[in-house]
DNA sequence: ATCAAAACTGAGTGACCACTCAGTTTCGGC
DNA sequence: GCCGAAACTGAGTGGTCACTCAGTTTTGAT
């Protein structure tokens, strides 16, 4: 099982950083110390290797978020949203290669023809959006979040913002870290329940 | 000049939709009716072809935004932001292939070694962010937008949101159109100047 | 110690790739 | 109509690619 794990690990880094078509099995073989034949023995095809990586990514991300949710006690629903956003950004740094892979086009391309790809992707995105939505609903129940907002759609808008920031970071377009405070402020302002007049 | 234009046009569609490495010169030759040699006669290398497409994309996007800005009369700064966001989304649909290309990894990969790529990309992103920033500054001057917001950073957050939505649409992850109203609401709420108490 | 299954090997294969080049056709100014 | 330049051609080239397969090594249960 040693070689199989090494291949998965190295291939994740290469597919995420160099891209799927630009990573050759020869290179993968050289960097893992496994023969080319070994890779095909374990994963069948190059596409099969990418699928195995996506599966592992899904399991890791979902588990990490579930552990976060279990371990944390939240104050208001609004602060739960804020902490979820923070955790998303932390995780995108901690699991940098996996999140980069999710911004790569090949997983979406394969998902158009291979239902297993689509299933993993949907699970990941549904899971992430759910965590935002639950936090919003909690906030609407405790009065810290505007009750007129549509929870699911607002969760998607939040997700859009956070995921866009991760993309900026990954592409080195801007110093995304410098935007953290602005992002949190924007989230807070757009969600906040309308203030009562004095 | 007929063949050169046809190659640019078809290559834009293929690079954007199939990806750069998955598009072969043979295929490009077949679809344009130009010989393979013709492509290399005009663009030198495959990378040179991508660069020419990026250059054209930059020119088109920048020109379109400038025309939009000249033609429109805006009410408040806040409504100028809203119209800029709308126009961005409209343009991302109208120039679908070009915007898809900007979400492809290869242009960023080449920009790490080829300064011409980086220059075009920076120009595009700076230009887009500028338009958001100017609208925010206008809104802060006429009192429709919270004066405590950092114009540039807030412009980047706006850009993150809008660009993230375009990405969702391009990847068919969600019905992005259904989020339009929520996006506009979110922008309005996060920018709005604090309401005076009655 | 034995043995079958699982893991692993790496040279070999055919297909495809970006790119070349020697030659042909088209175009525009006179 | 002539001529040089620009546009265009497509068979050919060397290299790389994903994948195969016949054979070897490792593993673990008995």
Q: State the pLDDT at residue A2.
A: 84
The answer to whether residue A44 scores a pLDDT higher than 80 is yes
Examine the domain organization and report whether B7 and B76 are in the same domain: no
**Is the CB of residue B2 less than 8 Å from the CB of residue B88?**
no
How would residue B73 be classed by pLDDT, with cut points 50, 70 and 90?
confident
Residue A133's alpha-carbon distances to A8, A169, A174, in angstroms, are: 32, 24, 28
The A-side interface with B (CB below 8 A) comprises 19, 21-22, 104-106, 108-109, 121, 125, 149-150, 153-154, 156-157, 159-161, 163-165, 167-168, 171-174, 178-179, 182-183, 185-186, 189-190, 195, 197-198
What is the C-alpha to C-alpha distance for residues A110 and B16, in angstroms, rounded to an integer?
16
Look over chain B and give the mean of its residue pLDDT values, rounded to a whole number: 93
Look over chain A and give the mean of its residue pLDDT values, rounded to a whole number: 93
How would residue B197 be classed by pLDDT, with cut points 50, 70 and 90?
very low
Within-domain flag for B176: yes
How would residue B198 be classed by pLDDT, with cut points 50, 70 and 90?
very low
Statement: the CB of A55 is under 7 Å from strand C: no
Mean pLDDT across the stretch B177-187?
A: 92
Within-domain flag for A108: yes
Within-domain flag for B50: no
- Could you tell me where the beta strands, DSSP code E, fall in chain A? none
Is residue B102 exposed (0-12), middle (13-18) or buried (19+ Cβ within 10 Å)? buried
How would residue B196 be classed by pLDDT, with cut points 50, 70 and 90?
low
Examine the domain organization and report whether B34 and B84 are in the same domain: no
Question: What tens digit of pLDDT does each residue of A171-192 get?
Answer: 877 788 889 999 999 999 999 8
**Is the CB of residue B167 less than 8 Å from the CB of residue B101?**
no
Is residue B132 exposed (0-12), middle (13-18) or buried (19+ Cβ within 10 Å)? buried
Examine the domain organization and report whether A3 and A28 are in the same domain: yes
Within-domain flag for A31: yes
Within-domain flag for B196: no
Within-domain flag for A177: yes
Examine the domain organization and report whether B138 and B183 are in the same domain: yes
Mean pLDDT across the stretch B11-17?
A: 97
Mean pLDDT across the stretch B63-78?
A: 92
Examine the domain organization and report whether B28 and B100 are in the same domain: no
CATH at residue B6? 1.10.10.60
Question: What tens digit of pLDDT does each residue of A113-171 get?
Answer: 999 999 999 999 999 999 999 999 999 999 999 999 999 999 999 999 999 999 988 88
Max Cα–Cα distance, chain B, nearest Å: 74
Q: State the pLDDT at residue A108.
A: 95
Looking at CA atoms only, how far is residue A138 from chain B in angstroms? 19
User: CA angle B178-B181-B184, nearest 5°?
Assistant: 135
- Judged by CB atoms closer than 8 Å, whether chains meet at B150 and A182 is answered as yes
Question: What tens digit of pLDDT does each residue of B18-68 get?
Answer: 999 999 999 999 999 999 999 999 999 999 999 999 999 999 999 999 999
**Is the CB of residue B182 less than 8 Å from the CB of residue A157?**
yes
Residue A34's alpha-carbon distances to A7, A39, A41, A109, in angstroms, are: 8, 7, 11, 28
Residue B71 has a CB neighbour count (10 Å cut-off) of: 7
- Which nucleotides of chain D does any protein CB come within 7 A of? 7-12, 16-22
Chain B positions touching A178 (Cβ under 8 A) are 153
Question: SS3 for A20?
Answer: coil
Name residue, tokens 């000049």. Answer: B1
Examine the domain organization and report whether A29 and A116 are in the same domain: no
């Amino acid at each position: 099982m040693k070689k199989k794990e090494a291949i998965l690990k190295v291939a994740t880094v290469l597919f995420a950083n160099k891209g799927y078509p630009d990573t050759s099995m020869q290179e993968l073989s050289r960097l893992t110390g496994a023969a080319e034949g070994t890779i095909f023995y374990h994963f069948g095809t190059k596409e099969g290797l990418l699928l195995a990586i996506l599966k592992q990514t899904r399991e890791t991300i979902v588990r990490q978020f579930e552990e976060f949710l279990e371990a944390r006690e939240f104050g208001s629903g609004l602060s739960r949203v804020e902490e979820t956003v923070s955790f998303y950004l932390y995780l995108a740094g901690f699991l940098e290669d996996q999140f980069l892979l999710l911004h790569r086009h090949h997983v979406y391309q394969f998902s158009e023809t291979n239902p297993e790809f689509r299933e993993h992707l949907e699970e990941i995105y549904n899971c992430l959006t759910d965590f935002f939505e639950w936090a919003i609903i909690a906030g609407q129940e405790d009065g810290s979040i505007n009750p007129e907002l549509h929870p699911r759609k607002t969760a998607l808008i939040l997700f859009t913002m956070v995921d866009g920031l991760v993309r900026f970071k990954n592409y080195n377009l801007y110093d995304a870290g410098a935007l953290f405070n602005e992002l949190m402020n924007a989230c807070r302002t757009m969600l906040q329940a309308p203030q009562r007049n004095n």
